[in-house]
Structure 1
């Protein structure tokens, strides 16, 4: 008589079930961790041009003024994804008109600001560059023969110029839509001539190509940039 044998467990089915449950649990738990509260400031709420992505900003308060934390989450339907990094202030955002690129204008201190670039991939926005967009812009600034010697000490700020949504038509250009970002750089110096109250950089402009990931300076900015390098306030 053949002895009875219990059927072997279906390991592949069990593994699939476990992964499904884990994914469901992760989705249910998506969103900011405990302690973070959604801000009710309408100026900190942003929606992509196609209406599919809504940006929500959450703050975790602290008795220590310097320990306040902010997180930004992109909501698409039931899915939420954090736009890293976590910061100490709320942020401003601009989308390109095709809703595929997103720039974060992040205050980091008094008169100081960074830029972060995100790209829409696999149903959500992810960091598009390993370094922040502002760090890449400053790297480009310091790589140029005419600007590499300038050392800035404070109020260092990278700003996204207005016009992202319509390819900067206000400047009279005819650039392709959703192709370029215009960035202006500013900062001040501690070491400067005694007869000068403040010396530094004011609104030096460059262009970032979203297709190639490279910077350049259009000829139209040559005069502005020359003046930006000579900026000073005399006593």
Structure 2
């Protein structure tokens, strides 16, 4: 019994290290090959994190799998979830936040948000960032009735790295993400070829985890709700 109590603290430490996100995994499983596509390699502004994307090929197009791993020093952490396509990424300028722009199909895209915790990137939200953005869209009185059927896409607007200065705003750095939502409808008038939503914009606050729509987007968002291409 004495020996048990002496070794228990060491056992607890070993278990803690084993479950630490920075030490939990040594890399992708067998069958996954690092892509040589330079457009799919990303490095954080501070140079500490390098993103590597690995593909597992398949004769069946729908069987192809992609995993993304964040390398920090000699440690690797998987950025979940596994997907069927490679992805684009953007870091905030302080290298603490990371957004994954994930193609999910033809003309469709999801967003995933990660944050540094205990030295490793982990999922920052239980649901995808795109699911949260769409939930916000459908919660608003002016947009909740719109039903979209295909080409449903959430996009991260450029400017994450410098607080969207190109828009002429003076927002704090590393605080906000601007997201645009788009999609198309199956049902529309016969004289209309395509109808739906085109680049409806909202803002996500990394500090509070809440969405809003800055007044500067009011006119563009109203037009986005009426988007159509006539025959």
Give the TM-score normalised by structure 1.
0.90
Query: Per the alignment, do residues 230 and 61 of structure 1 end up closer, same or farther by CA in structure 2, a change over 3 Å counting?
Result: same
CA RMSD of aligned residues (A): 4.1
Q: Secondary structure at the match of 1:190?
A: coil
Q: Distance in 1 between matches of 2:68 and 2:197?
A: 30
Residue 4 of structure 1, CA deviation: 21
3-state SS in 1 of match to 2:5: coil
Distance 1:219 1:82 in 2: 38
Q: Deviations over 1:153-211 (max 9, x none)?
A: 00000000000000000000000000000000000000111111110000000000000
Q: 1:18 deviation in Å?
A: 6.9
- Find the counterpart in structure 2 of residue 180 from structure 1: 176
Deviation at 1:30, TM superposition (A): 1.1
Return the offset for 1:126: 0.3
User: Equivalent residue of 1:85, what SS?
Assistant: strand
Q: Distance in 1 between matches of 2:128 and 2:176?
A: 16
CA gap of 1:162–1:7, structure 2 versus 1, over 3 A, is closer
Name the CA shift for 1:191/1:178 in 2 (closer, same or farther; >3 Å).
Answer: same
Query: Residue 137 of structure 2 aligns to a residue in which SS?
Result: helix
Q: Where do 1:138-157 residues align within 5 Å?
A: 138-157=134-153
CA drift of 1:16 comes to 6.6
Q: 2:22·2:77 contact (CA, 8 Å) conserved in 1?
A: no
Q: Measure the CA separation in 1 of the matches of 2:159 and 2:149.
A: 29
Deviation at 1:3, TM superposition (A): 21
Q: 1:32 to 1:197 in 2, by over 3 A?
A: same
Q: Identify if the C-alpha distance between structure 1 residues 3 and 223 changes in structure 2 by more than 3 Å, giving closer, same or farther.
A: closer
Q: Answer yes or no: is the 8 Å Cα contact 2:18–2:24 preserved in 1.
A: no
1:29–1:229 Cα change, 3 Å: closer
Q: 1:226 to 1:20 in 2, by over 3 A?
A: closer
How far has the Cα of 1:24 moved from its partner?
A: 12
Residues 192, 124 of structure 1: alpha-carbon distance in 2 compared, 3 angstrom cutoff: same
Say which SS state the counterpart of residue 153 (structure 2) adopts. strand
CA deviation after TM superposition for structure 1 residue 8, in Å: 14
Distance verdict in 2 for CA 1:81–1:22, change over 3 Å: closer
Give me the whole-angstrom Cα distance separating, in 2, the residues matched to 1:73 and 1:18.
23
Structure 1 alignment gaps of length 5 or more: 10-14
Q: Cα 1:156–1:6, aligned 2, differ >3 Å: closer, same or farther?
A: closer
> Which protein shows a greater Rg?
1
| Structure 2: gaps of 5 or more residues | none
Question: Per-residue displacement from partner, 1:61-104 (whole Å, max 9, x unpaired)?
Answer: 00001110000000001100000000000000000000000000
Q: Is the partner of 1:175 in helix, strand or coil?
A: coil
| Counterpart Cα distance in 1 of 2:21 and 2:100 | 29
Give the total of aligned pairs. 230
Do the aligned partners of 2:202 and 2:211 also contact (CA within 8 Å) in 1? yes
Measured against aligned partners, the alpha-carbon deviations of 1:93-145 in whole angstroms (never above 9, x if no partner) come to 00000000000000000000000000000010000000000000000000000
